Structure 1
Amino acid sequence: MLKKRLKSYDYSILVVYLLVSIFGLIMVYSASMVTAIQLYDLSSTYFFYRQLINLLIAIVAFAFAAIIPYKKLKSTGFIQLIFFGSIVVLMFVLFMGSNVNNATSWLRVGVRNIQPAEFVKLGTIIYLSAVYAKKQPYINDFNKGVIPPIVFLVFVTFLIVLQPDLGTAAIVFSTGMLIVFCSGMNWKNLGRLLLLGAIFIAIFSPLILWKHDDIFTEERMGRLYSFRDPFKYEVDEGLQLVNSYLALGSGGWSGVGLGKSIQKLGFLPEAHTDFIMAIIAEELGVFGVVFVILSLGYLILKGFYIGMKSKDPFGSLLAFGISGMIGIQMFINLGGVSGMIPITGVTLPFISYGGSSLFILSLSLGLLMNISSYANLEHERNIKSTIENKKSR
C-alpha cells in the first residue's frame, strides 16, 4: 500500500513548491540585507536565517500534510475544534494581541510573533469544505444547507476586520465564498445569497464604521488616495507605490542584477515582505517576474484540476479552497505592488518574508498533494474495475 501511495503522488507540486520557496529565500536575503543593517543594526543575514528556519519548519509541515489521511480532517471533533478555536483565538487577539504596523494581528509566543488569522484562513477552508460536503444531500435547502456555514464565515471575517487586517479578511471571505459557489447549490440559492449579502452590507457597514471608526484611519485612507494618484502623495502615503513603480520600471527584461537593487537601500519600505515582487522585477527583470507568476499559476491551476478530478466532495472543495486562497492572495499582493488595487499589506505566497504565512501555505499545499494522491489511486481503481468488467463479459 505504501508503495502504491508513493507512486500516486503528483511530485510536480513538490518540485515547484521547493523551487519557488528556495527562490523566495534567496530574494528575502537580497531584499532584506540592507534593511537589517540600516534600520535594525543587525547582521545582513538576520532575515535570511530566520526565513531559512521558517522554510525548514514549513517543509516538515508540507510533508506531514501530504502523508496523513486528509479525510480524517472532516471528523466532527476536528471541525468543532476549528469552529470554536477560530473564534476564541481571534477574540483573544483583539484583547491581548501585539500591535504591528497599526494592526493588532499578532500574538507573542516565546520569542516569535505569530499571526493567528493565517491559521484561520486554512481552518475556514477545512471547515466550509467539510460542512458543505456533509450537506450535499440537501445542499439546495437554503435555510438548512446554505446559510449556517456562512454565518461562521461572516463572523470570523468580521473579527479579522476589527484587528483591523482588511487584506487577510478579504482573502478569508473571498476564499470562503468560492467554496460556497463550488458546493453544488443551484443558481436560485446563489442569487438569494448575493441579495442577502448586499442587504447585510448595507445595514451593518454603517454600524461597524460608527463603532469602529479606527478601521479607516488617516493612514489607510491615505493609501486609498495614493492608489488613485501616488505621485501627488509621494513623500508620505504614496511613497511605497512610487518607489515600487521605480523598481518595476528599472528592471527591464533581465534586471540590474541579483543583489544590485537601488530601491532596497532604504527607499522602498517593506521590501522583503509586501513589496518583494518590486525587488524581483528590479534585480531579475521580466524573467524573474514571469518565473514567479508561472510557478504560482501552475500550483493554482493544478489545484483546480485536482478539485475537478477528485470524486470526494470534501477533497474537491478543499482543493478548490486551497487553490483559491493562493490565487486570491497572489492577486491582492501583485495588485498592490503594481497599483491596480489599494495596498493592503498582504504577502506574496511562498516568496515574502514571514513564518506564519509560509507555514500555512506549505501545510495547504501538502494537503493538495495529499488529495491528488487519493484521487489518482481512485482513478486507477476505476480503470482496473472497468477493464475487469469488460473481461468478464
Structure 2
Amino acid sequence: MLKKILKSYDYSLIAVYLILCLFGLIMVYSASWSLAYRQDLPADFFYMRQVKNLVISLICFGLFALFPYRVYQNNKFLMPMMFGSVLLLLLIFAMGHTANNAQSWFRFGAASLQPAEFVKISVIIYLAAIYAKKQKYIDDFNRGVLPPIFFLAVVCFLIAIQPDIGSAFIIFMTGCCIIICSGMRLKTILKLIGLGLGIIIILALIVLILPDDLQKQIISPTRMGRITGFLNPFTDRGNTGHQLVNSFFAIGSGGVFGQGLGQSVQKLGYLPEAHTDFIIAVIAEELGIFGVLVVILGLFFLIFKIILTGLRANNPFGALLCYGIAGLIGIQSFINLGGATGVIPITGVTLPFISYGGSSLMVMSILIGIVANVGMFTNYQRKYGKKETN
C-alpha cells in the first residue's frame, strides 16, 4: 500500500520545487552578505536564517503532501480556518509590528510572521471548497456566486488597509482565477465584473469627497511615489526612482553570462531589498540571462505541472485547488518580476521560492505539498483503480 502511494507522486514537480528552493538559498547568501556586513552581523546571518526557514518549509511540504486534501473540504475545517484568518488580520492592528510603513507582521523575538501570506492558503482552500460544493447552482447569483466573494472582499480589505496593497491584489486576483475556473457561465462572470467596476467607481467618488487630510492618508506620498518612480524613474533617481534605476543597472550590467556568482556591485548598498524584492536583479547581474532563465523556466514548469494536475483531478475541489495555486504563483511571480524590470509599479512582494522570507517560503511549500497530494490521489486511482476517500 505505502509503496503504491509513493509511486503515485509526481517527482518531477517535487524536484523542480527543490531546485528552485536551493537555488534561492544560494542567491540569498550572495545577495545578503553585504547587508549583513553593513549591519555588523555575521556574513551568513540572513543565509542561516533562510536555511532554518527552508528546513521548516520542507517539513511543512512533507506533511501537506501526505495529508489527504479532501479533508479541507469539510465544514469542520473550513469554518475555523475562515474565521481564524479574519481574526488574525484584525489582531494585526492591535498587536502587529510596523516595518516599511506597513503594520503587517507579528514579531516573536527575532522571528516574525506575516498573516497575509497564510491567508493566501485560506482563500484558495475556501473558494475552491465552496465553489466545488455549489456546482449545481454555480450561476445562482445570491446562493452560488456572492457568499464566497464576501469573504474574499473582507480579507482583501483588511490586508489593503495595513497597508499591503501588493498582497491584497495578489489574493484578489487569485480569487478571480478560481472564480473564472469554477464553471460559471460567461454571463455570470460579466455580471461580477460589472459589479466590481461599480464598487470601484463608488469608492473612488467617496475618496474624492473626503477632507484633504483623510485623502492624504489614503493616497499617501509613499504610494504616489511608487507610481511616479515607475513612470519616470530617472527624473528622481535619488528618491522615488532609486530602487528601479539601480535594478536597471544590475540587470543591464549582467548581460548574457553575468559578472559571476557573488560579484554583484549593486548589492553593495546601492540596491535596496537586494535579497528580497529585488533578488532577480542580483541574479541577472551575477548570472546573466541564463540565471534569470533558470528561475523563469522553473516557475513556468511548476505552474504548468500544477495546471496539468488540476486538469487530471477527479473532482472539482482538487481541480480548483490546483488552479488557484497555479494562479497565485503565476501572479505573484509576474508582479515581482514586473516591478523589478519596470513593467509595473513596485509593490514589495517576494519572488516565490527564491526571495528571502520565512512566511513566503513556508506558504509556497505548503501549497506545493497540497498539489503533490492532489496529484498522488489522482495517479493512485488511475493506476490501481481505487476511489479517493476523505
After TM superposition, is the score higher than 0.5?
yes
Identity of aligned residues (%): 53
Deviation of residue 379 (structure 1)? 2.5
1:259 is aligned to 2:262: yes
Q: Residue in 1 aligned with 2:155?
A: 156
Find the aligned partners of 1:330 and 1:19 in 2 and give their Cα distance: 16
Question: How well do the aligned residues superpose, as a CA RMSD in angstroms?
Answer: 1.4
For 1:3, the equivalent position in structure 2 comes to 3
Distance in 2 between residues matched to 1:272 and 1:76, nearest whole Å: 40
Deviation at 1:191, TM superposition (A): 1.0
Matches within 5 A, 1:369-384: 369-381=372-384
Q: What displacement does 1:263 show?
A: 0.2
Distance in 1, matches of 2:183 and 2:13, equals 27
Find the counterpart in structure 2 of residue 59 from structure 1. 58
Distance 1:229 1:204 in 2: 28
| 8 A contact 1:164–1:215 mirrored in 2 | no
Where does 1:236-247 land on structure 2 (aligned, <5 Å)? 236-247=239-250
Deviation sequence 1:82-124 (CA, Å, 0-9, x none):
2111111111112321111001111113431110000001110
Give the secondary-structure state (helix, strand or coil) at the position aligned to 2:112.
strand
CA displacement at 1:203 relative to structure 2? 1.2
Worse overlay, 125-134 or 108-117:
108-117
Tell me the CA shift for residue 46 of structure 1: 0.3
- SS, match of residue 280 in structure 2: helix
After TM superposition, the structure 1 = structure 2 runs for residues 34-49 of structure 1, keeping only pairs within 5 Å, are 34-38=34-38, 40-49=39-48
Whichever residue aligns with residue 36 of structure 2, its letter is A
Please state how far the C-alpha of 1:328 moved relative to its aligned partner: 0.4
Q: Partner residue of 2:186?
A: 187
Q: Secondary structure at the match of 2:157?
A: helix
Match of 1:121 in 2: 120
Question: Are 1:327 and 2:326 matched, yes or no?
Answer: no
Q: How does 1:302-341 map to 2 (within 5 A)?
A: 302-341=305-344
Describe the superposition over 1:21-72 as per-residue Cα deviations: whole angstroms up to 9, x where unpaired.
Answer: 011000000000001111x210110000000000000000000010001100
Greater mean alpha carbon deviation, residues 95-104 or residues 325-334 = 95-104
Contiguous gaps of at least 5 residues in structure 1: 386-393
Q: Give the SS at the match of 1:132.
A: helix
**In structure 1, C-alpha distance between the alignment counterparts of 2:291 and 2:100, rounded to whole Å:** 29
Taking a change above 3 Å as real, the CA distance of residues 2 and 212 of structure 1, as seen in their structure-2 partners, is farther
Secondary structure at the counterpart of residue 103 of structure 2: strand
1:188 partner amino acid: K
The answer to whether the 8 Å contact 1:233/1:239 transfers is yes
Q: Does the C-alpha gap of structure 1 residues 206 and 43 become closer, same or farther in structure 2, counting only changes over 3 Å?
A: farther
Measured after TM superposition, the shift of residue 143 of structure 1 is 1.0
Tell whether the 8 Å contact from 1:104 to 1:163 is kept in structure 2 after alignment: yes
Secondary structure in 2 matching 1:164 = coil
**Counterpart mapping for 1:210-249 below 5 A:** 210=210, 213-249=216-252
CA distance in 1, matches of 2:194, 2:384: 43
Alignment of structure 1 residues 171-186 onto 2, 5 Å: 171-186=170-185
1:288-367 aligned at under 5 Å gives the runs: 288-367=291-370
Deviation at residue 381 of structure 1 after TM alignment: 4.6
For these two proteins, the number of residue pairs brought into alignment is: 383
1:215: how far off?
Answer: 3.8
* CA–CA separation in structure 1 for the residues paired with 2:246 and 2:218: 26
Q: How far apart are 1:207 and its partner, in Å?
A: 3.6
Stretch deviating more after TM superposition (201-210 or 57-66): 201-210
- Matched residue SS, 1:99: strand
Aligned-residue offset at 1:142: 1.3
TM-score by length of structure 2 reads 0.96
TM-score normalized by the length of structure 1: 0.95
Kindly provide the CA deviation profile for residues 268-318 of structure 1, in whole angstroms up to 9, marking residues without a partner as x: 000000000000000000000000000011001111111111121111000
**Any conservation in 2 of the 1:94–1:162 contact (CA below 8 Å)?**
no
Deviations 1:135-181 (A, max 9, x none): 11111211100110001101100111000001100110000011011
Structure 2 SS opposite 1:214? helix
How far apart, CA to CA, are the structure 2 residues paired with 1:248 and 1:241?
Answer: 10
Distance 1:208 1:5 in 2: 55
Partner of 2:96: 97
Distance 1:75 1:158 in 2: 26
Where in structure 1 do 4 or more consecutive aligned residues deviate above 6 Å?
none
